[in-house]
Amino acid sequence: MRRALPQPPRRRSTALMLSLSSLALLSACGGGGEEEIDLASYLPDFQAPIFSDASFLANAFTAANGVTAEDVDALLDEPNYVDTAAGLQWIRTIPGFQDLSGTNEPLRSSGAAFAHAAGLTGAGQFIAITDEHITPEHASLNGRVSISSNPDSGDEHGTSVASVAVGNSPDFVGVAPGAQVLFGTYEDPTNQSMTDLGNTATDFGAVAWNNSWLFLDLYANQTDFDVIFASPDGQQYLNALRNYANFGVVVFAASNDENQQNAGLMDALPVLQNDLEAGWIAAINGVPTLVNGDVQSVTLLSSACWQAARWCLVADGSWNAAVGSGSDLEETTGTSFAAPQISGAMALLAEAFSNTTIAPDDRLSPHELRIRLLASADADFAGFNADGTVTLANGFDKPYSVIYGHGFMDIEAALKPIGGVAMATAMGESLAVDAPILLTGSGLGDAVEVSLAATNLAVKDALSAGFVMPGTALTAGARPGSQAGALLAKSLRSNLTAERIASPAALDDPFAAFTGPVLELSAPDGTASAAVLMPQGDGALGFTLTRALTDGPTKVEIGLKLARDNGGLLSLGGEEGAAMASVALGVTQDLGNGAFMALSGEMGLTDLGGDTALGDSSSARFDAVKLTAGQSDLFTKGDRLSVGVGMPIAIASGETVLYLPVSRAGLAAGFEAVALDLAPENRQLDLEVTYQTALADGVEMQLSLIHSDNFGNRAGETDTAGALAFALRF
């Protein structure tokens, strides 16, 4: 409870506030008081709406932030998606899976369906696959397989693996249905076929080299390493792995043995060859339980990550995958089908973050895409306990688990900004834009947002991936709460009796745009007055001096005002309040028989709060106008009814120029001068009605009603509020 300004002694007041949305009873002691209004309630939640558009040039991935859960659901109802997931209820028959919620949909849980809904297919990307045999005639592979070696073993494992990675037919869809396959067999005792495929993958720039196989009973130790790599043929194979892994990403499936306590030789090879880690991912198989699309738990159907945990991911390897040369599908599960999900995800990300034709420097390498998959993996599920951290990029550490590695693969999260988002400035600095920078006061309304509406900005996340952010994300305008609180605060701090019987004056409320206690002083002859907006914790303060130029039936007044707002009125930067200097002119006309009319206008200059983080700020002109008509002794002697219409303080003219990294379709991002018109196109217009009367000796009542169009100087916003105040004197 706050002390009010000087009021008649022995006075107690109680106010009842009525608004469209709330009913509250407040009281103030000691001759009135003020409801303390927190500026935070006037301002929006400052969260920048970052576009999840992974290509800020003329590339395939556009406006993924517009993809909704409904879009994904609709896609998963398409026949090829339904057939892909058909029959997967069989997973419930496996012990420990009876309580799985919903249909097992690996395209949903991995985020691949989200990528498809955003228009990504992996088009233009190659995935190398080493396996036993492939049948390229299967309908889901659609002639998109190039073969370097393929023994006629009759085994369909390679067909199934390839379909999970790139399958696409009326009956089936894989993770990257627009990508192509480079295939080679592992059925070669010299490993020459794998060496040849590695060299081919390097030549073609394949984004991933998938290996859904392992050397049985060989683990990450020097003895087992020598079994494979000590010979000249083994050295050639190791060189092919190393040459490819220097730029691409090798994906190796871990063991399907749930009881195995060590990683295999190949999925954990970077333990022995450290330089391979930057181009390596180990894949384990886990079936998630989803609740509202979120992974709640993961049940493993394979070995854990073990020594490969630093580069390990979980994916759902339970699929209805391709077999044979027709269009047949077969239920299957294993790390063999978790690995091609990861390889397919690499192709989707490579398409999304390509930018090859216009800005090659902004293309993400396969190594950088690998980091995105690891960094974005979902580790927020029951049972995940961090056993260590790995530094994926400067200042970006990711916890990992010996059991689950980095967690469950989440392609959707990998396509969106990871970590903080920053924008380059024309001065060569990097400016964080996770939250708006231009926190504009209500006197600017929606002017800055309108000025930036057609501007897209190039930004980067913590992993140096390029995104488009709408220019409007740089700004957040103050949005005042309902005026009911301000009406009530004014009623509580006023002497209702003195206000009712005083002679009308056009400049009687010089700080109407502010909340806070006002100290008023008047000359004995009434020709001059001063008012002080008392300093508050939020930084607002002010002083005004008013002088009457004429008196009699026509009263002309002039006022001078110096003030600083709290950042919520005329500020552009929001960090500090805006300084204001203005002159006001008021004319009050006594119409006789208790009727009057008052017209007031105010014009001034403001510094908009000074410089902003985006450049030097300029000054702007603001103004306000109000016309009030009233009648005393209308219903009973001594009462007063007044009706007013006006436009409160707002920027009338002003412009500032920001140099921003503008992104335009088909052009490399470059700095451009973006002019901001600071004057709102739609000014707030208030209609006010106030009725004051003495209900009895010592009992005052004041009813205040207000309706505002373009509330907060924002087009189409409205507010209607009221306050009913009583003052008791005894």
pLDDT tens for each residue of 176-185: 999 999 999 9
- For residues 33 and 94, membership in a common domain is answered with no
Q: For the chain, how many structural domains are there in total?
A: 2
The pTM score is 0.80
- 286 and 206 together in one domain: yes
What's the pLDDT at 667?
Answer: 61
pLDDT at 486: 78
In-domain check, residue 425: no
Which range, of 4-13, 141-150, 163-172, 701-710, averages the lowest pLDDT? Answer: 4-13
- 647 and 533 share one domain: yes
Q: Would you state the torsion angle of the CA atoms of residues 571, 683, 532, 729, taken in this order, to the nearest 10 degrees?
A: -130
Asked whether residue 437 is domain-assigned, the answer is no
pLDDT tens digits along 354-394: 864 334 456 899 999 999 999 999 999 999 999 999 999 99
CATH code where residue 396 lies: 3.40.50.200
Task: Return the number of other C-beta atoms located less than 10 Å from residue 618's C-beta.
Answer: 15
Residue 572: pLDDT above 60? yes
Domain co-membership, 389 together with 485: no
Residues 714, 580, single domain; the answer is yes
Asked if pLDDT for residue 9 goes beyond 90, the answer is no
139 and 88 in a single domain? The answer is yes
Label residues 133-171 b or e (16+ Cβ within 10 Å = b).
Answer: bbbbebbbbeebbeebbbeeeebbbbbbbbbbbbbbbeb
558 with 589, same domain? yes
Q: Residue 588: which domain range?
A: 11-46+479-729
Enumerate residues 6+ apart whose C-beta is below 8 A from 27: 13, 14, 15
User: Is residue 641 located within the same domain as residue 528?
Assistant: yes
pLDDT of 431-481, one tens digit each?
998 888 888 899 999 999 999 998 988 888 899 888 888 888 888 888 777
Map residue 679 onto helix, strand or coil: coil
| Other CB atoms within 10 A of residue 597 CB | 16
Q: Is residue 312 part of a domain?
A: yes
* Position 443 in a domain: no
Token pair 């509580």 is at which residue? 492
CATH of the domain at 503: 2.40.160.40
Mean pLDDT value across residues 495-514: 89
